[in-house]
Amino acid sequence: MRGGESGLLCTNGDFCIISHGEEFQYGSYFRYGWCQRVVNVWAINKYKLDGNRRIDAVIRHVESEKAGCGRVLVRRSGTEARVRVMAEGPDERELSGYDEGIVEVVKEELEYSVV
């Protein structure tokens, strides 16, 4: 872990790293044996997620890069001012590259905030 981060062992057995208002979860997606990474982004305007062309475009781009070998899920939190960006795939090293592009666009489009 880097400075400013703290680790938790989640109830589902995943290891979480919390940093600067974002939560990163590393674990396994047991159905396929894939790695999973979830980034929770504080978003003031989380309801602008639906139909946002830039966010939709970057998600489609990442899905085409994965070419059926993994998945991406981007959704609003039902209880908090957050958008959850989840990537799954067989190679953990690739996951951060996939979701970081989506996270940056979500931050730009939905007025990212550190709470």
Residue 58: pLDDT over 50:
yes
Is the model more confident about 21 or about 90?
90
What is the reported pLDDT for 113?
65
Strands of the 6-9 sheet, one edge to the other: 6-9, 15-19, 22-29, 34-42, 82-89, 71-76
For the chain, domains (ranges, CATH) are 20-109 (3.30.310.50)
Q: What is the DSSP letter of 10?
A: -
Q: Residue 17: count other Cβ atoms within 10 Å of its Cβ.
A: 15
16-30, 46-60, 96-110 — which one is most confidently predicted on average? 46-60
Asked if residue 18 has pLDDT above 50, the reply is no
Query: Model-level pTM greater than 0.75?
Result: no
